[in-house]
Chain A
Amino acid sequence: MAERLTDTLVAPLAGVDPSSWGAALQEAKGILAGLAVRRAGAGPFRVTGHEIRAALSSDATDLAGQRPFAWSARTARRALGLAAVRQLVAGDARSPVEAVRARLEESCRWAHDGSPCASQLDRWVAGLPPAGRVAVGAEAVTWATRLWCALDWSALGSAPVIGRDRWWDSPHSALLALRGRAEVRTDRADLVVLSGPRRETVRAELALVTLVEALRSRGSGVPGRVVGWWPDSGRLVRVEPEPAVLTLGAEAVGLVLAGSGAPVRSAA
């Protein structure tokens, strides 16, 4: 699995015609500007892959009916697992167990010292009884081990960025922001860890990552490919940086804002 996933991340990118890319980017910006204007006066709106999935999938009702967010071993595992993988990549820990344990201890220390670094998650972790903290750690260890073992890290080139979400704030409205989530970012590709079943909306979810990268780019540079990976099944889905992907992403954002469940034009 590590070989196949790593190969997909480091494979050379096909060339993209700059004029086609530039035109698609302008078109996407136009779509988003129009959306922002129409939303003016409403509450702030942050679009993530989750919103795209909820808006476009047939299980939208199920997703909408989810309980309000609460910290649990499951909801904390990504944040703690990413921190652990970051330590492993930096060589600060030798195993996921050690890395997660260090991260949990850091949470407790920050929370007890009243450090400004302490997040809501840190305070929740610090408030757990020891056995509860171990349960949270166990879930994070599994999450981190799967990601850590899935890649040949030495083949990824210079220091990959671990778990940094990127935002694009609309210049037309402070009310609209898009989030591109990726667990591992390299020069050539972004890896997104997926959960849940295979679904038709996944390309639109990943197109949002490409769109955010393109919108944030100051030059005419084309971002890398986006690779979605389900650890449960080992399956991959690749979204290459093609002009049509920008259109797919922008249209998906439009459908989210419109509150419509209409199918996205299959552009990618």
Chain B
Amino acid sequence: MVLVAPRPLLQPAHLEVAAAERSSGREVLALLRGDTAARPRFDPELAGGLRAWLEDAAFDVVATRGEHAPPVFLGPSQLLGSPAGWRDDEGLSDELVLSRLVHVLFRQLVTEGRFDHPLRDALDGLRASGAEELVRQIESLPPAARASLSETVASHAANVREMVPRFAPGWMPRTNDRVAIPLAGGRVVLHGSFDLLVGLPQPGTASLCALGLSTSGPWARERRSLHYLALLETLRSGTPPFRLALLESATGRYGVEDVREEHLRAIASHLSAWLATGPHG
């Protein structure tokens, strides 16, 4: 990591903090921008090599499952384990609901630069996104539970507002950018979503930054998830993002790091091993 800032923000910042006072956001932005001359360079053959490695592992999966088995879709939860507290076997967990709400606010902040009432805005955003069922569940919570959720969302929202920089439109910020990489002729699909990508793609040059938002951690798992997405971007466009930022909304902690080839090789090695032994049959 270039920097991890364990900020003393367990007490959430006040909601009325003005955008101009977002000191953490300014720091994150400066770290993302960095020294343009010092941006890492990547071997143009890297993407091809990583793909060949994963294709070999994926064809082993196909050999095990059979040629005509339906495609396997593998995301970070299957490959790296679920974030803390996530489960959906007995309905959505509180942590998963919180994550959905905070991510809606994150998108709103990036796109519009502000939100007014965190829970209400998040519910409006979810409803417009077609998640009416989830909105109904939240709205039908008992008053005490709903008040508690509202308070928790406000706490995360305050930290998000503190940490998320204001990106100039020319940085081309885009949220929820989905990546899906078919392997073995589409019979194994690795997928994931960048919470935020910024930068203009440039042929042969690593020119993007990626930001991930974690609501529940653990930090190490979320960091690996970003490495996984960087790998998928390498397979999609030929080059990874050159820098990654991880923002933790529960605490206000954030970290920024350069992407290195060893990160990509390590996560590809993990995927390859997982495909060889994982419960995908």
Q: In B111-129, which residues have CB < 8 Å from any A CB?
A: 111-112, 115-116, 120-122, 124-129
CB atoms of B128 and A132 under 8 A apart:
yes
Binds B, one of A47-55, A176-184, A230-238: A230-238
CB atoms of B176 and A235 under 8 A apart:
no
Q: How far is the CA of A128 from the CA of B126 in the complex (A)?
A: 12
Q: In A133-157, which residues have CB < 8 Å from any B CB?
A: 133-139, 141-142, 145-146, 148-150
CB atoms of A138 and B200 under 8 A apart:
no
Quote the shortest CB–CB distance from A89 to chain B (angstroms): 16
Q: Residue B276 at the A interface, CB < 8 A?
A: no
CB atoms of A197 and B203 under 8 A apart:
no
Contact A135 B172, CB 8 Å, known A141-B111, A233-B180, A233-B182:
no
Q: Residue B71 at the A interface, CB < 8 A?
A: yes
Q: Which of B116, B125, B174 meets A146, CB within 8 Å? A: B174
CB atoms of A95 and B169 under 8 A apart:
yes
Q: In A214-264, which residues have CB < 8 Å from any B CB?
A: 230, 232-235
Q: How far is the CA of A70 from the CA of B128 in the complex (A)?
A: 11
A148: chain B residues at CB < 8 Å are 172
Contact A95 B124, CB 8 Å, known A138-B111, A138-B176:
no
Q: Which of B130, B181, B185 meets A73, CB within 8 Å? A: B130
A96: chain B residues at CB < 8 Å are 169, 172, 174
In this complex, the member of A135, A139, A150, A199 whose beta carbon has the largest number of chain B beta carbons within 10 angstroms is A135
Binds A, one of B90-98, B102-110, B155-163: B102-110
Q: Mark B234-263, 1 if CB is under 8 A from A, else 0.
A: 001110000000000000000000000000
B185: chain A residues at CB < 8 Å are 198
In this complex, the member of B112, B116, B122, B128 whose beta carbon has the largest number of chain A beta carbons within 10 angstroms is B128
Quote the shortest CB–CB distance from B157 to chain A (angstroms): 12
CB atoms of B111 and A137 under 8 A apart:
yes
A132: chain B residues at CB < 8 Å are 124-125, 127-128
Q: Residue B186 at the A interface, CB < 8 A?
A: yes
Q: Which of A2, A70, A74, A145 meets B172, CB within 8 Å? A: A145
CB atoms of A232 and B203 under 8 A apart:
no
CB atoms of B124 and A135 under 8 A apart:
yes
CB atoms of A131 and B108 under 8 A apart:
yes
Contact A97 B169, CB 8 Å, known A132-B128, A134-B108, A135-B104:
yes
Tell me what chain A mostly uses at the interface: helix, strand, loop, or mixed. helix
Q: Mark A47-90, 1 if CB is under 8 A from B, else 0.
A: 00000000000000000000000101111000000000000000
Q: Which residue of A lies closest to B105 (CB)?
A: A131
Q: Residue B40 at the A interface, CB < 8 A?
A: no
Q: Residue B201 at the A interface, CB < 8 A?
A: yes
Q: Residue A92 at the B interface, CB < 8 A?
A: no
CB atoms of B237 and A94 under 8 A apart:
no
Q: Residue B225 at the A interface, CB < 8 A?
A: no
Quote the shortest CB–CB distance from B109 to chain A (angstroms): 9
Q: How far is the CA of A98 from the CA of B189 in the complex (A)?
A: 34
CB atoms of A128 and B128 under 8 A apart:
yes
CB atoms of B107 and A2 under 8 A apart:
no
Residues of B within 8 A of A (CB): 71, 104, 107-108, 110-112, 115-116, 120-122, 124-130, 169-170, 172-182, 185-186, 189, 191, 200-201, 203, 236-238
Some 15 contacts from A to B, beta carbons below 8 A apart, are: A1-B236, A75-B130, A97-B111, A128-B124, A129-B124, A131-B122, A131-B124, A132-B125, A134-B111, A134-B112, A135-B108, A137-B112, A150-B201, A197-B71, A197-B182
Inter-chain pairs besides A133-B128, A197-B182, 8 sampled, C-beta below 8 Å:
A97-B111, A97-B173, A130-B121, A132-B125, A132-B128, A134-B125, A149-B200, A198-B182
